[in-house]
Chains A and B, each alone.
Chain A
């Protein structure tokens, strides 16, 4: 990961925070809203692989943590694990994303968005914040999953080519070549 790629990820993290504060926070269901921070590691993990996905989780999570009242670093930690999982799934589970059906990336993103809040809540509970495992967690999971599924392809398109870390990969929706 070069400094330029880290800068892209930090900038993307700030853009996501602006979108969160202006749009996502206004659209609440049952008192909760979609958290867009998970879109970054999911999209970058799918577009650019495991290492870039983890970097996106760390950078985007750290930026989001500056604005959140939850423990600093918790979103980054969950983001790293999410970026790793989605990156591996993209590399070894799916492989050729450009050759797959249009709904494959959104489906993986939906799964990632569904798991991310649970991961965050479990890590938070492990740190002593047991209230994170609340009754609204189910609604949060669904909202985050929908947001990830809707936004993953646009974010992959915009960001993918700037953060691809693997020289064997040509672009955001290209497969990893010659890795097997």
Chain B
């Protein structure tokens, strides 16, 4: 009796595994067909529950973190003053920079069109660092386009539907971004290490002058994934191991990736 039961159980397991593997094999079309329907079913409930839980959560956050809110307000005031100052000098700098980049035939962020997008969902999975935005192919958004906002580079569009897109954040472990830094325009590559983690930088030779707080920008080299001049992050730590051929550099993203209510999709395709 026992072997029969065991065999039956094994057969059932095989059947379920086969079903799951079939889903994996034909996943793309199934997801495209089912995702819109599932979101349409779930969205009203999500809105209702968020409508109930959000005020409660914000009340608690305000009550227990009031000092933080005041500190953030002061910081925002300082940042606003700094931005106003930068804005007054930006026109001149942009003209100079776009002229220089045009000479090198490199794309420049300031000259490119944007599509403003609202973030629907953030970090749906613990295994990928992504956000879902509410503009898609119908607004001209295509896979591979860079996304900026909240102070710097946010990530890259990884997939689109007609009314939405998934953006893979620069902290995702699959991301590699060519950057430039310093007055001598040193080149390097930064890699994502997972959501909430600092970026890791390599291809920097020992002796390269790199300082804590230094800002890294996209290099925009020909064939690069991003236009030149998008701020990526600041250096938060450097380390060189004995006998190593590279400096280990830790970079903190400039964009506040935990507060991405709105982002801008740069309507620019890699290689264009």
Binding site for B on A (CB under 8 A): 14, 17-18, 21-23, 25-26, 28, 30-33, 35, 50-51, 54-55, 57-58, 61-63, 65-74, 76-77, 79-81, 84, 117, 120-121, 124, 127, 129, 131-132, 134-136, 140
Contacts and interface: CB of A to CB of B under 8 A. Distances in A.
A66 B16 contact: no
Interface residues of B, number: 50
19 contacts: A17-B38, A22-B46, A22-B50, A28-B123, A28-B196, A32-B126, A33-B126, A50-B12, A65-B27, A67-B38, A69-B130, A69-B159, A72-B23, A72-B30, A73-B23, A76-B23, A120-B127, A129-B127, A134-B173
A76 B194 CA distance: 23
B205 interface: no
Contacts of A28: 123, 196
Describe B's contact surface by its main secondary structure. Answer: helix
B70 interface: no
B28 A50 contact: no
Interface in B12-46: 12-13, 16-17, 19-25, 27-28, 30-31, 34-35, 38-39, 41-42, 45-46
Contacts of A14: 38, 41-42
Q: In this complex, which of B28, B57, B125 has the most chain A Cβ atoms within 10 angstroms of its Cβ?
A: B125
Nearest to B9: A50
Top 8 closest pairs, chain A to chain B, by CB: A31-B196, A72-B27, A131-B173, A73-B23, A73-B24, A77-B20, A31-B195, A22-B49
Contacts, number: 147
Nearest to B120: A21
Given A26-B53, A31-B196, 4 more contacts: A28-B196, A33-B123, A71-B27, A131-B128
B121 interface: yes
Contacts of B9: 50
B173 A77 contact: no
Nearest to B57: A26
Contact of A73 (B12, B21, B129, B194): B21
B17 A80 contact: yes
A51 B42 CA distance: 27
A57 B15 CA distance: 13
Contact of A70 (B28, B35, B127): B127
B16 A84 contact: yes
B124 A25 contact: yes
A69 B158 contact: yes
Interface of B: 9, 12-13, 16-17, 19-25, 27-28, 30-31, 34-35, 38-39, 41-42, 45-46, 49-50, 53, 57, 121-130, 158-159, 166, 168, 172-174, 193-197
Contacts of B25: 73
Give the interface centre of A14, A31, A61, A135 by most chain B CB atoms within 10 Å.
A31
A69 B128 contact: yes
A9 to B, nearest CB: 12
A58 B19 contact: yes
B159 to A, nearest CB: 8
A63 B17 contact: no
B1 to A, nearest CB: 10
Given A131-B174, A134-B194, A21 B24 contact: no
A26 B61 CA distance: 12
A10 to B, nearest CB: 10
A26 B31 CA distance: 25
A121 B42 contact: no
